[in-house]
Amino acid sequence: MTAVVALRPVRRWIRKAQASHRDRGDALATVYTAVFSIAVLSVMAQDTLRAVFSPLVPHLSGVGAVAAAACSAGLIHLALRRLGPVTVTRPAAYFLLTAPVSRQRLLAPSLVTAALGAALAGGAAAFGILGNAAATGSIVLVATGALAGVLLALLASAAQSRPRLASLVDTAARIALAVGLAGLVAEAIGWTPPTLGGEAPALVLVTVTGALAVVAFILGVRDLARTPNDAILESAKTTGTLADSVYGIEPSFFAEMLERRYWASRRLRSARLPHRLPPLTGQDLLLARRRPARLLWTAASTALPLLLISAPRWVLVIALLTGTVIAARGTTATIKTDAGNPVLLRMLGLTSRQVVQQRLWLPAVLGAAWATMALGLLQVAGALPPGQWWALGPAIGAIGGAAAIRAARAGFVRNDLIPIDTPMGSVPTGPVVYAFAGLDLLLLTLPTVIRLFQDLPATWSVIAVQTGLAALGVRAYISWTTDPERVGLSK
């Protein structure tokens, strides 16, 4: 048997070898660009950040603050679980995971990183909640938030090696997120929550959370060696693909990996494609029905714009359009597959017009349902000027559906386009074009957007104009970008 090899010298050697191949100037340039970009963005978004973290009129009640904390905790936990949180780099997964080195020492750095990241996120969330809470809270609670973040990272790490615990805490996180959002929405539309009594002193809270975090951290590091190989390999792939996505500015790498992983974990039973529908529409319907949780979250998210009732109108408009497009994107993975490689379309022998016409139905219906519901809720909550705003939903949804299809047809980011030189450095054209693919079609929602901006009522004539524009726009999109005589997706 080989004795356990000390890991530190191996890591030092790897770092040294890597550094010898790297140009120090390049590394410094990257650091400079990152720091400069963060500084510029912080200054640009100063007002927005202040509005988010510390608005002029704080509005959250005690229950609202707890609901916001539940949402933040749920989100942080789910993000940590998606990333691992215990992970190694892909080369380390290949070379070091299989080497006779201490498993605990190999994995500890990632746990520390995850705990630090979660502490930052927890601290920022606590800071934001404190800034929005009507009752003043002690700033010491920010430290409590950070320590709670550390506890969440350790809980996620424990869940990584225990499937039953994982399913329990993941469900709890989803429930916390749903209940928290429901509480926030209820408060935003005028529900007066009961006053919370008997607040614990901040110092006691921070001390108890801190002590718990320290104990949990010691136990968590000891427990690291238990993390199974398959869980580490999976998280190594996840973080590696995420890094590829960020470095290559190609979000589809990560999205596709998640999609593949989701279907690989499902046990499916072959179903018949609905025979009354065109084949591709039937396929999309089957795909949507196979993701009930996504449909449920999409339906629940129609209430989220209610949280923005008191936000500037442009924020509400962006949220409405974004929500519609995200709902419409529920089934566009199929068109993304065809955009990447049209081999199946050749097998099916369908023209680009047939494909887009058949594939547009589901996104348009999903987008229309989302927009109708969201506008209806806003109307019922009295957040909009008079008029039947819900009736604009089908038109907005159809445009959102076409936008989602257009974005999916864009396929991958084109990194061969010439970058644009600006005083702040060169801007890569491919990712910018990719990011805006499909969004141009949202210009068709202008009649609704203008009414919302100007706080004018939604008259039936506006609804008729918007519906007509949507019908014409979608028809023109299909006619101009597809060919009835060509197999594939392009014209």
Partner 1 sequence: MWVVEHPAVEVNGLHVRYGSTPVLVDVGLTVPAGAGVCVTGENGIGKSTLLRCVSSLQQADEGTVRVFGAVPGDSPEFWRAVATTVEPPTWYPGLTAREHAELVCRAHGQDPDSSGIDEALERFGLAGHADAIPPSLSSGQKQRLTLALVLLRPSSLLILDEPEQRLDPEGRALVAGMLADYLATGGSLLLASHDDKFAVASGAEMVSMEQLTGPAS
Q: Nearest Cα to 93, choosing from 279, 229, 262?
A: 229
Q: Does 350 bind partner 1 (CB under 8 A)?
A: yes
Q: HSE-up of 177 (CA within 13 Å, CB side)?
A: 18
SS3 label, residue 133: strand
Q: Does 485 bind partner 1 (CB under 8 A)?
A: yes
Q: Does 341 bind partner 1 (CB under 8 A)?
A: yes
Q: How many residues bind partner 1 (CB under 8 A)?
A: 38
Q: Does 417 bind partner 1 (CB under 8 A)?
A: no
Q: Does 271 bind partner 1 (CB under 8 A)?
A: yes
Among 351, 357, 388, 415, binds partner 1 (CB under 8 A): 351
Question: Between the CA of residue 303 and those of 172, 295, 299, what are the distances in Å?
Answer: 21, 14, 8
**Whole-number minimum distance, CB 258 to partner 1, in Å?**
11
Q: Does 280 bind partner 1 (CB under 8 A)?
A: yes
Query: What whole-number distance in Å separates Cα of residue 424 and Cα of residue 410?
Result: 27
Query: What whole-number distance in Å separates Cα of residue 409 and Cα of residue 481?
Result: 10
x/- track of binding to partner 1 for residues 287-316 (CB under 8 A)? x--xx-------------------------
Among 230, 349, 416, 421, binds partner 1 (CB under 8 A): 349
Among 27, 344, 433, 472, binds partner 1 (CB under 8 A): 344
CB of 3 or CB of 268, closer to partner 1: 268
CA 396 to chain centre: 22
- Pull the structure tokens for residue 291: 């993701």
DSSP state of 174: H
**Whole-number minimum distance, CB 362 to partner 1, in Å?**
13
Q: Which one of the spans 17-25, 68-76, 262-270, 299-307 is the region binding partner 1 (CB under 8 A)?
A: 262-270
CB of 172 or CB of 348, closer to partner 1: 348
Among 16, 21, 272, 276, binds partner 1 (CB under 8 A): 272
Q: Which one of the spans 111-119, 166-174, 244-252, 334-342 is the region binding partner 1 (CB under 8 A)?
A: 334-342
**Whole-number minimum distance, CB 405 to partner 1, in Å?**
16
SS3 label, residue 422: strand
Q: Does 486 bind partner 1 (CB under 8 A)?
A: yes
Among 60, 286, 403, 452, binds partner 1 (CB under 8 A): 286
In sequence order, the β-bridge partners of residue 487 are: 351
Query: What whole-number distance in Å separates Cα of residue 116 and Cα of residue 147?
Result: 10
Q: Which one of the spans 102-110, 151-159, 397-405, 479-487 is the region binding partner 1 (CB under 8 A)?
A: 479-487
Among 334, 357, 429, 481, binds partner 1 (CB under 8 A): 334
Q: Which one of the spans 73-81, 296-304, 346-354, 449-457 is the region binding partner 1 (CB under 8 A)?
A: 346-354
Write b or e for each residue in 137-176: b if 16 or more Cβ atoms lie within 10 A of its Cβ, otherwise e.
beeebbbbbbbbbbbbbbbbbbbbbbeeebeebbeebeeb
Write the DSSP assignment of 225-271 as a string of letters. GGS-HHHHHHHHHHHHHHHHHHHTT-THHHHHHHHHHHHHT------
- Pull the structure tokens for residue 14: 């790897």
CA 463 to chain centre: 32
- Tokens 């039937």 found at: 282
According to CB under 8 A, which residues from 222 to 261 bind partner 1?
Answer: 259-260
Q: Which one of the spans 201-209, 236-244, 265-273, 431-439 is the region binding partner 1 (CB under 8 A)?
A: 265-273
Identify whether the C-beta of residue 455 lies closer than 8 Å to the C-beta of residue 385.
yes
Query: What whole-number distance in Å separates Cα of residue 19 and Cα of residue 25?
Result: 12
- Mapping DSSP onto H, E and C, the string for 56-85 reads CCCCECHHHHHHHHHHHHHHHHHHHHHHCC
Q: Does 402 bind partner 1 (CB under 8 A)?
A: no
Interface with partner 1 (CB under 8 A) = 259-260, 263-264, 266-273, 275, 279-280, 282-283, 286-287, 290-291, 333-334, 337, 340-341, 343-344, 346-351, 485-488
